[in-house]
Structure 1
Amino acid sequence: MVKKLLTIFVFFVTFTTLSQETKILLSGKVIDSLGIVKNANIINRQTNQGTFSSDDGRFRIFVSEGDSLQISTVQHITKKIRITKTIKDLKSITVTLKQNTYVLDAFDLKRNDLMGRLTADLKGVPRSRKDSLLSKVLDFSNINFKQKDPTIDAVVKAKPPIVNTVPNSFGGAGAGAKIPFRDSERLWALRKKLERKKQFPYKIMSELGEKFFFEKLKIPVDHYFHFLEYCNPLGVEELHKENKILELIKIFQKESVPYLKIIKKE
């Protein structure tokens, strides 16, 4: 008889423990007096698993009966909720948070005996000793700017004329000199060509896709740029400029075979 009672008791305890440990996916919503609360931090304190409320204030988290949820944000007072059997059976919960009020430390407005009026307080504010010294150093009231220094003029006149040694440029060209139209046009074309060459690997990747190069052609990711340089003598950049994509694909498919053999030997 005792053994039967003991068996029943152990079975009851085991069943109760298992029922409590059974996890469910709890759906919830976080709100306050103004409406929904997004980006609230929800943590199950028993499992240390957490999530965030979405833009419409909703969240989902695994819980068991007896677990404790902690809901917190910067703007609200932290709230803790214990998962009861009722909440577990409903599989849904709405959490209402209270706004948090921050109180700043008091500070003294009468530290310099100010009255609160700008015109009156400016006269009473103590001046820094550094400010007074700086004003003396920067005092130009006694300087006659119309008077010229003959020594400076002599030094300027004694300087030799600047000789322009740059070919195909105008005499006396300085920082503000203009580049001839033909040269500027040529430089612009060169800059445009270099920019197109720089952007080619990224454009062709976005157009043909990663699967084409890394799965179909089996080009290793770290050899992608090297493979394009390998194909460059065949005019792949010009073909791309002329929008001849089919010809580009044929070249890449054909050249990938010998290229893979080369890098395999290396």
Structure 2
Amino acid sequence: MKNFLLLLVLLSQVVFSQQERKTIFGIIYGPNGVLENAHIVNSYTHQATFSNKKGEYRIFAKPNDSIKFTSIGYKTISETLTKQDFNTYIKLVTLEKQDYKLDEVLIKNNELSGELAKDLKKVKIDLKQESITNATDFTEIDLKKKSTNDYTNTKVKPNIVSVDPTTAFEGVGTTIFIPFKDSKSSRKSPNN
């Protein structure tokens, strides 16, 4: 009896300590207005959604869940939700712009003038790429011109395959009859 009461008390503690997840509504802003297609993830449940054209989103969460807001070109924000976030009608989030630094780019001196016609003559030609380009160049083919050497023999009959589902199946020297439900049986009974 004591074990049963102890188990009942522990289960009631677990049930009351867990809170049900609710839908949280919000809008994501950037420096220039609302952000479309921002990615919102509940880090605890791994449920994710995107913001619509108006920057609005909905996601299931409960207090103490961590929500991550990301968008390309903006800094990622992670927020832990509080009870107050569920008391507000709309949760507003603003993402800041993030600049990306590229690695150093080295430009070789090719002595190009800037005139395309002259510079194309100075650039080295890749022989493999040139052969592929020539093999797939169909610009000199006149598709409107009829070919005179295309011969079709009209005396040969085409192979016609006839498929009739009501006929018997034939195999290597045997014939099998498959009766259908509504068809009359062609077999005679052994008594006749």
Q: TM-score, normalised by structure 1?
A: 0.38
Whole-Å separation in 1 of the counterparts to 2:16 and 2:86: 15
- Deviating beyond 6 angstroms after TM superposition, the runs of 4 or more aligned structure 1 residues are 9-12
- The 8 Å contact of residues 42 and 50 in structure 1, kept in 2 or not, is answered as yes
* CA-to-aligned-CA distance 1:66-91 (integer Å, 9 cap, x gap): 00111112222221111012112225
Distance 1:61 1:130, change over 3 A: closer
**CA RMSD for the aligned pairs?**
4.0
Q: TM-score, normalised by structure 2?
A: 0.51
- The 8 Å contact of residues 39 and 53 in structure 1, kept in 2 or not, is answered as yes
Alignment of 1:102-141 (within 5 A): 102-109=100-107, 111-112=108-109, 114=111, 118=114, 128=124
- The aligned counterpart of 2:94 is 96
Q: CA deviation at 1:31?
A: 0.5
Distance 1:78 1:130, change over 3 A: closer
Amino acid of the structure 1 residue aligned with 2:17: T
Alignment of 1:27-42 (within 5 A): 27-42=25-40
Length, aligned pairs only: 126
- The 8 Å contact of residues 25 and 91 in structure 1, kept in 2 or not, is answered as no
Q: Larger relative contact order (C-alpha < 8 A, sep ≥ 6)?
A: 2
Looking at secondary structure, tell me which structure has more strand per residue. Answer: 2
Q: 2:68 matched to 1:70?
A: yes
Equivalent residue for 1:24, pick from 18, 22, 44: 22
Amino acid of the structure 2 residue aligned with 1:71: F
Looking at secondary structure, tell me which structure has more helix per residue. Answer: 1
Equivalent residue for 1:79, pick from 77, 80, 93: 77
Distance 1:91 1:112, change over 3 A: same
* CA-to-aligned-CA distance 1:205-226 (integer Å, 9 cap, x gap): xxxxxxxxxxxxxxxxxxxxxx
Whole-Å separation in 2 of the counterparts to 1:28 and 1:50: 14
Structure 1's unaligned 5+ residue stretches are 1-5, 132-173, 177-263
- The 8 Å contact of residues 23 and 62 in structure 1, kept in 2 or not, is answered as yes
- The 8 Å contact of residues 50 and 61 in structure 1, kept in 2 or not, is answered as yes
Alignment of 1:1-266 (within 5 A): 14=14, 17-18=17-18, 21-109=19-107, 111-112=108-109, 114=111, 118=114, 128=124, 175=145
Whole-Å separation in 2 of the counterparts to 1:15 and 1:130: 71
Secondary structure at the residue paired with 2:102? Answer: coil
